[in-house]
Amino acid sequence: MDLKQIDFGKAVLKVLELIIVKPFTLPWHIYKSAIINLSNTSSDDSEEKVLSKDFPLFTWFIRMFDALIAIIYPVGAIMAVIAGTNSYTGGFGSFLVTLAATYFAPLGIGLLRELYQISLKMILYLKIISSK
Protein backbone atom coordinates (compact mmCIF):
# COMPACT_ATOMS: atom_id res chain seq x y z
CA MET A 1 0.00 0.00 0.00
CA ASP A 2 1.32 3.36 -0.99
CA LEU A 3 1.46 6.31 1.39
CA LYS A 4 -0.84 8.26 -0.93
CA GLN A 5 -3.61 5.68 -0.50
CA ILE A 6 -3.78 6.06 3.29
CA ASP A 7 -6.67 8.18 4.55
CA PHE A 8 -5.21 9.85 7.63
CA GLY A 9 -8.54 11.46 8.56
CA LYS A 10 -10.23 8.07 8.86
CA ALA A 11 -7.25 6.69 10.75
CA VAL A 12 -7.32 9.55 13.28
CA LEU A 13 -11.09 9.18 13.75
CA LYS A 14 -10.71 5.43 14.32
CA VAL A 15 -7.93 6.03 16.86
CA LEU A 16 -10.08 8.56 18.72
CA GLU A 17 -13.04 6.17 18.66
CA LEU A 18 -10.96 3.30 20.04
CA ILE A 19 -9.31 5.41 22.74
CA ILE A 20 -12.19 7.66 23.82
CA VAL A 21 -15.54 6.12 22.83
CA LYS A 22 -14.98 2.34 23.09
CA PRO A 23 -13.94 2.24 26.77
CA PHE A 24 -17.22 3.93 27.69
CA THR A 25 -19.50 1.80 25.49
CA LEU A 26 -17.80 -1.58 25.91
CA PRO A 27 -18.95 -2.28 29.52
CA TRP A 28 -22.60 -1.89 28.48
CA HIS A 29 -22.10 -4.26 25.52
CA ILE A 30 -20.47 -6.84 27.79
CA TYR A 31 -23.35 -6.53 30.28
CA LYS A 32 -25.94 -6.88 27.53
CA SER A 33 -24.11 -9.90 26.10
CA ALA A 34 -24.09 -11.61 29.51
CA ILE A 35 -27.82 -11.03 29.93
CA ILE A 36 -28.48 -12.42 26.44
CA ASN A 37 -26.28 -15.47 27.13
CA LEU A 38 -28.15 -16.19 30.35
CA SER A 39 -31.55 -15.82 28.72
CA ASN A 40 -30.65 -18.07 25.75
CA THR A 41 -29.45 -21.07 27.76
CA SER A 42 -32.51 -23.11 26.82
CA SER A 43 -32.01 -22.78 23.05
CA ASP A 44 -30.85 -25.91 21.24
CA ASP A 45 -27.59 -24.44 19.93
CA SER A 46 -26.41 -22.86 23.19
CA GLU A 47 -23.10 -23.94 24.69
CA GLU A 48 -24.87 -25.09 27.80
CA LYS A 49 -27.15 -27.50 25.90
CA VAL A 50 -24.45 -28.82 23.56
CA LEU A 51 -21.56 -29.22 26.00
CA SER A 52 -23.16 -29.60 29.43
CA LYS A 53 -23.19 -33.41 29.21
CA ASP A 54 -19.47 -33.59 28.36
CA PHE A 55 -18.16 -30.65 30.41
CA PRO A 56 -20.70 -29.77 33.13
CA LEU A 57 -18.24 -28.11 35.52
CA PHE A 58 -16.55 -26.03 32.83
CA THR A 59 -19.89 -24.89 31.40
CA TRP A 60 -21.08 -23.95 34.87
CA PHE A 61 -17.85 -22.03 35.50
CA ILE A 62 -18.29 -19.94 32.33
CA ARG A 63 -21.96 -19.27 33.15
CA MET A 64 -20.90 -18.06 36.62
CA PHE A 65 -18.99 -15.23 34.94
CA ASP A 66 -22.16 -14.28 33.06
CA ALA A 67 -24.10 -14.36 36.32
CA LEU A 68 -21.50 -12.17 38.04
CA ILE A 69 -21.66 -9.66 35.20
CA ALA A 70 -25.47 -9.69 35.35
CA ILE A 71 -25.59 -8.81 39.05
CA ILE A 72 -22.82 -6.20 38.96
CA TYR A 73 -25.04 -3.25 38.03
CA PRO A 74 -27.90 -3.86 40.51
CA VAL A 75 -25.52 -4.61 43.40
CA GLY A 76 -23.25 -1.70 42.43
CA ALA A 77 -26.18 0.71 42.36
CA ILE A 78 -27.22 -0.39 45.84
CA MET A 79 -23.65 -0.06 47.09
CA ALA A 80 -23.38 3.41 45.53
CA VAL A 81 -26.54 4.56 47.31
CA ILE A 82 -25.26 3.17 50.60
CA ALA A 83 -21.87 4.81 50.09
CA GLY A 84 -23.52 8.09 49.11
CA THR A 85 -25.77 8.22 52.15
CA ASN A 86 -23.03 7.24 54.56
CA SER A 87 -21.23 10.36 55.76
CA TYR A 88 -18.25 8.29 56.95
CA THR A 89 -17.36 7.22 53.38
CA GLY A 90 -17.48 10.72 51.92
CA GLY A 91 -21.00 11.23 50.62
CA PHE A 92 -21.52 12.23 46.99
CA GLY A 93 -17.90 11.64 45.95
CA SER A 94 -17.97 8.04 47.09
CA PHE A 95 -21.34 7.64 45.34
CA LEU A 96 -19.80 8.73 42.03
CA VAL A 97 -16.66 6.64 42.51
CA THR A 98 -18.73 3.55 43.31
CA LEU A 99 -20.92 4.13 40.25
CA ALA A 100 -17.86 4.54 38.01
CA ALA A 101 -16.22 1.40 39.40
CA THR A 102 -19.49 -0.48 38.97
CA TYR A 103 -19.87 0.68 35.38
CA PHE A 104 -16.37 -0.44 34.38
CA ALA A 105 -16.33 -3.70 36.42
CA PRO A 106 -17.76 -5.82 33.56
CA LEU A 107 -14.56 -5.11 31.59
CA GLY A 108 -12.40 -7.11 34.00
CA ILE A 109 -14.84 -9.93 34.55
CA GLY A 110 -15.66 -10.05 30.84
CA LEU A 111 -11.97 -10.38 30.01
CA LEU A 112 -11.61 -13.31 32.41
CA ARG A 113 -14.74 -14.93 30.99
CA GLU A 114 -13.49 -14.60 27.43
CA LEU A 115 -10.08 -16.04 28.32
CA TYR A 116 -11.72 -19.11 29.82
CA GLN A 117 -14.34 -19.28 27.10
CA ILE A 118 -11.78 -19.58 24.31
CA SER A 119 -11.19 -23.24 25.10
CA LEU A 120 -14.92 -23.88 25.48
CA LYS A 121 -15.58 -22.34 22.05
CA MET A 122 -12.88 -24.52 20.48
CA ILE A 123 -14.47 -27.62 22.00
CA LEU A 124 -17.91 -26.51 20.77
CA TYR A 125 -16.68 -25.91 17.23
CA LEU A 126 -14.86 -29.26 17.15
CA LYS A 127 -18.02 -30.99 18.30
CA ILE A 128 -20.07 -29.21 15.60
CA ILE A 129 -17.51 -30.12 12.93
CA SER A 130 -17.35 -33.75 14.03
CA SER A 131 -21.12 -34.11 13.88
CA LYS A 132 -21.25 -32.98 10.24
pLDDT of residue 91: 83
Residue 105 CA to residue 43 CA, distance in Å, equals 28
pLDDT of residue 46: 63
pLDDT of residue 51: 66
Residue 131 CA to residue 37 CA, distance in Å, equals 23
pLDDT of residue 77: 94
Residue 81 CA to residue 94 CA, distance in Å, equals 9
The answer, yes or no, to whether residue 27 has pLDDT greater than 80, is yes
pTM for this entry: 0.75
Taking only the tens place, the pLDDT of each residue in 38-84 is: 888 776 666 666 666 777 787 888 889 999 999 999 999 999 998 88
Mark 65-91 as b/e (b = at least 16 C-beta within 10 Å).
bbebbbebbeebeebbeebbeeeeeee
Residue 32 CA to residue 29 CA, distance in Å, equals 5
